Amino acid sequence: MSDDRVDFASMLASRLCHDLLSPVGAFANGLELLADEKDPEMRARCFELLEQSARTSAAKLKFFRLAFGSAGGFGEAVPPDEAKAAIEGIMAERPITLNWMIGEESLPKPAVKIILNLALILVDALVRGGRLDIGCERQGAAPDGAIEIALHVEAERIFLDADVERILAEGETTGAMTSRTAPAILVQAVAAQNAGTVMLARETPTSLLVGAVLKGR
C-alpha cells in the first residue's frame, strides 16, 4: 500500500474520531452525572442528555457508513431517501434548510458517496446556517446514462476551507491532505474511478455551487 493511501486512511479515521468524540463524550458525561445525581429533576435532565447524545451518535454513524464505508446492506444501488435521512441527521443541530430535488428511485453507490461527502463539506461551511439545495439526475432516458450531481448553498457567510475548495476545483493533489480535506479527496477519487469530473463555482460571495458528472453504467 502506498504512503498516500496510508495517509488518506489515517486522515479519514481522524475525521471519524473527531466528529464522534463530542456526542460519545457527552454520553459518557451523562452516565457519570446520572450515577451521582439524586435529584429527580436533574436525573430527568441527564436522561435527556443521554437520549440526545445517542441520537446524534447514531445519526453520525449512519452517515459515515454510507459516505465512507461500503454500505453493504444496499447492493450496487442506494435509495435516495437513505442519503437524505443521513444528511438530515448531520445537520439536525444547525439552522440549515435542505431542499431535496432527487426523484430517482435508486442511485449507484458512487453517486451517493459523492453526494454525501459534498454535503458534509457544505454543512461544515454553513457554520451560521443557510440553504442547501441537492439535485441529481440521469442524462437521457437510458438506465446507463451519465449522472449529474449538483449541490448549491446560499448563506450570509460560507466558511469553506481553502484547501478543500482548491481540491474540489483543481484536483486531489492540489491541497494538503488533512482530516478536513479527506472528504474532498474522496470525492475526487470516486469521480476518477467512474470516469467522472468534479466542479466548483463561486457564483457570488454568498452562494456556491459544487457538483460532479459520472459516466453511466
- C-alpha to C-alpha distance for 87 and 115, rounded to whole angstroms: 9
CATH at 39: 3.30.565.10
Residue 71's pLDDT band, with cuts at 50, 70 and 90, is low
| Beta carbons of 96 and 128 less than 8 angstroms apart | no
The three-class DSSP label of residue 180 is coil
pTM attached to this predicted model? 0.86
- C-alpha to C-alpha distance for 158 and 143, rounded to whole angstroms: 36
Residue 178's pLDDT band, with cuts at 50, 70 and 90, is confident
For residue 204, give its domain range.
3-214
Q: How many residues does the chain have?
A: 217
Domain count, the chain: 1
Residue 142's pLDDT band, with cuts at 50, 70 and 90, is low
**Torsion angle of alpha carbons 111, 203, 119, 175, nearest 10°?**
90
Element at 149 (helix H, strand E): strand 147-154
Q: Which residue has the cell 446492506?
A: 73
